[in-house]
Amino acid sequence: ETDGSIMSGRMFSRIKKAVGQAVSSVEEAVSSTEVDPAVGHTFEVEKYTVEVEKLLAQGGFANVYLARDQASEKRYALKKILVQINDKEEQRCTDMEIKIMRKFQKSPNIVTLFGATSHKNREGNFME
């Protein structure tokens, strides 16, 4: 029995086993997910041509991808906003977000916006 300040070998083994099982579960979940339809596609965003490499995050309003600029090979975040072009209120909110990002792009606390475009009923922001 320990005084609580030192972990027993048995307790360490249990924790190690639990962590290993958790990591295996996460790896299995990641490998079994479907590939996002945007992955592998190329998009024109203002003066950039970017290829989507992988989905980084998704939500109800937007998906964020890792994208590679074909000219410089530099990698960027591509935020694909899930807004229908014919919804005037959603379009207004998206336009306002782009306007605000352009206005504050010199701020060290806000990501740099390199471009924005509309594509097939979706909006795209190309960011650092």
Q: Which residue type sits at 119?
A: H
Phi, psi of 32 (to 5 degrees): -95, -5
pLDDT, tens only, 92-114: 888 888 888 888 888 888 888 88
Tell me which of 75 and 94 has the higher pLDDT: 75
Kindly state the tokens that stand for 44: 């024109």
Tell me which of 113 and 122 has the higher pLDDT: 113
